[in-house]
Amino acid sequence: MSEIVIRRLRTVTEFNQAVDLQTIYWGNSGDALVPMHMLHSLANHGGHVLGAYDGETMIGFVMGFIGTDIDYESVDARPAMANLLIMSKRMVVLPEYRGQNIGYRLKMTQRDVALKQAIRLVTWTFDPMLAPNAYLNIHKLGGVVQEYKVDYFGETDLPSLQADRLVVEWWVTHQRVKERAKNGASKLSLQQYFDVNAPIVNRADASGDFLKPRQMTDVPDSTFALIEIPPNFREINRTDSDLAQAWRDHGREVFVKMFRGGYMVTDFVRGDYQGKSRTFYLLSHHSDDDYRQN
């Protein structure tokens, strides 16, 4: 294997490689893929398409475009430039290259783009049940989550676009992101959060082969709290669809209640607990302004 190189995509050939790579995760349906002509337009009009290459083989990519969270139909809408952001989409890495920090490097290159464009916020969505994605987005990159989207894409027959989503806010000039860029992921462990009495609001039933959700406790009155998800949701989804759906329904209830109770996701931790590998979102009670200031 040669050295992995991250570079900006510029040619039709490269954009077609990115289309092919999307099929690894989103399948061959034209409805699920960003086509070559759209990638070309985005890359040449303020957006970017970044590819990870092993020699001449594209093994990962991510795209992003400049947007805003301003509702232009609102009577209180400000100019769009007051809330510019980069919307990140479609990050995918070939399965045989996962676990080699390719996704992390793609995101950090995307951060470089945002800094050059003087844009502070990069945002994207992800499936709340996928522990590896949460570990990258929250623990390694320093993103935070304050919003849970129910049926984000609406009704669709595409399995990869079904289910709810968490919305990541990656404030690229914030101190927590700078620290991770310089020193790596947060060093705080699961045990350290237990040591400060962070309650698990939905402690799972670990009696079987797979973790099972149990009814959550009331929203706590504490600085920190933990939400548990299974570390192996993809395996559960393949082998026990009823249990997978139970976790999805349970996750929706827990996240919505916790966000309404004034919490936000600020870390994701994994470790041994009661003899099994376990994974948890760490939530902190917050002020909205805490992560919007440099």
Instruction: Tell me the pTM.
Output: 0.92
Contacts of residue 116, defined as CB under 8 A and 6 or more positions apart, other chains included, come to none
Q: Which residues of 224-238 are buried (b: 16+ CB within 10 A; e: fewer)?
A: bbbbbbbbbbeebbe
Rounded-to-integer distance, Cα 76 and Cα 230, Å: 42
Q: Which residues are bridge partners to 121 per DSSP?
A: 171
Tell me what the mean pLDDT of segment 86-97 comes to: 95
- How many angstroms separate the Cα of 25 from the Cα of each of 14, 19, 29? 18, 11, 11
Rounded-to-integer distance, Cα 231 and Cα 217, Å: 21
pLDDT surpassing 90 at residue 2: no
pLDDT band at 289 (very low <50, low <70, confident <90, very high): very low
Tell me what the mean pLDDT of segment 75-86 comes to: 83
> Which region, left, alpha or beta, applies to residue 154 given φ > 0 means left and ψ of -120 to 50 means alpha?
left
DSSP tag of 220: P
Instruction: Give CATH for domain 4-183.
Output: 3.40.630.30
- Say what the pLDDT of residue 176 is: 93
Tell me what the mean pLDDT of segment 178-188 comes to: 89
- Say what the pLDDT of residue 24 is: 87
pLDDT surpassing 70 at residue 238: yes
DSSP tag of 80: G
- Say what the pLDDT of residue 233 is: 95
pLDDT band at 145 (very low <50, low <70, confident <90, very high): very high
pLDDT surpassing 50 at residue 293: no
Q: How many residues does the chain have?
A: 294
pLDDT band at 282 (very low <50, low <70, confident <90, very high): very high
Token pair belonging to 143: 């993103």
Rounded-to-integer distance, Cα 157 and Cα 154, Å: 10
Rounded-to-integer distance, Cα 255 and Cα 253, Å: 6
pLDDT in tens, 5-44: 999 999 999 999 999 999 988 888 777 899 999 999 999 9
**Domains of the chain by residue range:** 4-183, 190-291
- Say what the pLDDT of residue 29 is: 74
Q: Which of 158-172, 199-213, 264-278 bottoms out in mean pLDDT, i.e. has the lowest? A: 158-172
pLDDT surpassing 50 at residue 294: no
Percent of the residues in the chain that have a pLDDT greater than 90, as a whole number: 79
Q: Please report the sign of the dihedral spanned by the C-alpha atoms of residue 111, residue 112, residue 113, residue 119.
A: positive
